[in-house]
Chains A and B, each alone.
Chain A
């Protein structure tokens, strides 16, 4: 019997930016229900990896597959299965939260009734009903992140890609984010990046450490905390020549 393909699979993905190798043969896979934490110091290649998965950047070599199909086969169809929230949370500052969600629904090709239902669902799920009429440009960073997440979830994607979702959140907002990711995980695959080990440990069931564009560690998060901490520190301390 043929085995079911992974929800997401990266095969030897490489990417150069400005003459510098940002990713060097990155390979890993993700199953539905997985919450994979992409850990690494600044410049390790986390955001580039996530941008490639989201389809907004393309690899120089290698392949990205969703359920066994290359994401470039039918870009539109593939992107309808991915929700992406970049680190800077790009919102339209002149639109209200409700208008921004409606605009995203339109861009995703949702019909009017489906759009209305999806916007209502996400406003409730992300607890944004109280700010639905406020301009996106006037929101706090925590609220902006929630609106970004609502935009990414509007079309119920199979794969959620979150770039540094905990950046700039206060402890209460961070706890809310952890609870939300816990609720979202069973129906889909989630991949998130962070450079904070504690954050990854709190939200993920698997961790992948990237360093100088290479995968240096990929394992479930079930060992003692100190062990991973020591490993991350050891990897992060390695110079680029050691990674190559």
Chain B
């Protein structure tokens, strides 16, 4: 109940913050531009395609890269929207107020995570709406679309969880955002060298975010990919909850 209440309070607060609206506006404008570019490239590449059956696929050529772009954008947006979650609240003593009202560390962390995730998923839904409005004309592969959307949603949740963990461990919001961006970028680029040399597999590839997005972007939902994202979410939130729960001993 407390986690839901904290999520409710934080969502209300996000809704009146110019920062959240500005971030959402910039993100949507960038995604709209990228969608138009992708769509334009797709239309130019296939000037004489006879019909939907023989086309290389609107979902393959436009939707999947477009959703991947949103995930890339979230490497920055998620840290920015989560940086205040615990670091800012702690310095303003609002975390202590929540603790005094009986909310546990886990409830605090879950509530704040849920609010940020709702914001990022709402953005994802708006982003996904752009290709959907063309559905009647483009005949998308709904299975592939759903798989790509699921992977994007899970990846965004993982990035939000990392942001919350960084916010729990750092005293300053700016530090939290920097740490979360660095971790996200590290997970994104960790196997860049291996990929450039044409290699694959191995634990470096397994750790990389894109390894677990690629299959879903082709329409294949693998349990190992879901497990990877859930593992990051669980680990990050558990660490954050533990950190917040032990504030009583430190402060």
Residues of A within 8 A of B (CB): 17, 51, 54-58, 75-76, 79-80, 82, 84, 86, 88, 90-92, 94-95, 99, 103-104, 106-109, 151
Contacts and interface: CB of A to CB of B under 8 A. Distances in A.
Nearest to A103: B9
The 5 closest A-B pairs by CB, nearest first: A90-B93, A107-B101, A94-B13, A106-B5, A90-B94
Contact of B96 (A51, A80, A151): A51
Contacts, number: 69
Report, as a range, how many residues of chain B touch the other chain.
Answer: 20 to 34
23 contacts: A51-B251, A54-B100, A55-B100, A55-B248, A56-B99, A57-B248, A57-B251, A58-B248, A75-B102, A84-B97, A86-B96, A90-B92, A90-B93, A90-B96, A90-B97, A92-B9, A92-B94, A94-B12, A94-B13, A103-B12, A104-B101, A107-B6, A107-B102
Interface string B85-120: 000000011101111111100000000000000000
B112 to A, nearest CB: 13
Is chain B's binding surface mostly helix, strand, loop or mixed? Answer: helix
B218 interface: no
B102 A80 contact: yes
Given A92-B9, A94-B13, A107 B99 contact: no
Contacts of A51: 96, 251
Contact of A58 (B17, B96, B249): B249
A56 B92 contact: no
Interface in B119-162: none
A190 to B, nearest CB: 16
A17 B250 CA distance: 7
B1 interface: yes
B196 interface: no
Interface of B: 1-2, 5-6, 8-9, 12-13, 16-17, 92-94, 96-103, 247-249, 251
A135 B6 CA distance: 18
A89 to B, nearest CB: 8
Nearest to B16: A94
B102 A56 contact: no
Given A76-B102, A95-B12, A107-B102, 17 more contacts: A56-B96, A56-B247, A79-B101, A90-B94, A92-B9, A94-B17, A99-B12, A103-B5, A103-B8, A104-B101, A106-B5, A106-B8, A107-B2, A107-B5, A107-B98, A107-B101, A109-B2
B9 A95 contact: yes
A55 B92 CA distance: 18
B247 to A, nearest CB: 8
A55 B99 contact: yes
Nearest to B2: A107
B249 A79 contact: no
Contact of A86 (B17, B93, B248): B93
B100 A82 contact: yes
Contact of A88 (B9, B17, B93, B247): B93
Nearest to B17: A94
Most buried by A among B9, B13, B97, B99: B97
Contact of A84 (B17, B92, B100, B247): B100
Nearest to A106: B5
B101 A108 contact: yes
B1 A109 contact: yes
Contacts of A108: 101-102
Nearest to A152: B100
A95 B5 CA distance: 14
Contacts of B101: 79, 104, 107-108
Nearest to B248: A58
Contacts of B93: 86, 88, 90
